[in-house]
Amino acid sequence: MDPLTALLDTPRAQGAFLLRVTMNPPWSVRVQDEAPLSVVAMTAGSACYAPDTGDPVHLRAGDLLLIARPDPYLFADTATRPPQAVIHPGGRCETPAGADLHLPTYRGVRTWGNAASGSDAMLVGTYQSVSETGSRLLKALPPALLMRRGADQRPGLIDVLAEEIHGEGIGQASLLDRLLDGLTVTAIRHWANSPAADPPGWLRAGNDPIVGAALDLIHDQPADPWSVASLARHVGMSRAGFSRRFVASVGEPPMAYLTAWRLALAADQLREDNTPVFRVAAQVGYTSPFTFSSAFKRHYGVSPLTYRQQRAIPA
**pLDDT digits 0-9 by tens, 131-185:** 888 787 888 888 999 998 876 655 577 888 888 777 777 777 788 888 888 888 8
Q: Domain total for the chain? A: 2
Summarize pLDDT for 293-304 with one digit per residue, the tens.
Answer: 999 999 999 999
Name the least confident of 72-76, 271-275, 295-299.
271-275
* pLDDT the model gives residue 92: 82
**CA neighbor of 187 nearest in space, from 40, 21, 303, 16:** 40
Q: Quote the strand ranges of 118-232, DSSP E.
A: 120-127, 144-147
Structural domain of 241: 203-311
127 band by pLDDT with thresholds 50, 70 and 90: confident
The total of other beta-carbon atoms located within 10 Å of residue 169's CB is 7
90 found inside a domain: yes
Domain closes at, from 192, 213, 245: 192
* pLDDT the model gives residue 229: 97
Residue pair 256/245 in contact (Cβ under 8 Å)? The answer is no
| Whether 179 and 33 share a structural domain | yes
**pTM of the shown model:** 0.81
Domain closes at, from 192, 212, 240: 192
Summarize pLDDT for 192-231 with one digit per residue, the tens.
Answer: 888 777 777 777 777 789 998 999 899 889 999 999 999 9
| Whether 183 and 252 share a structural domain | no
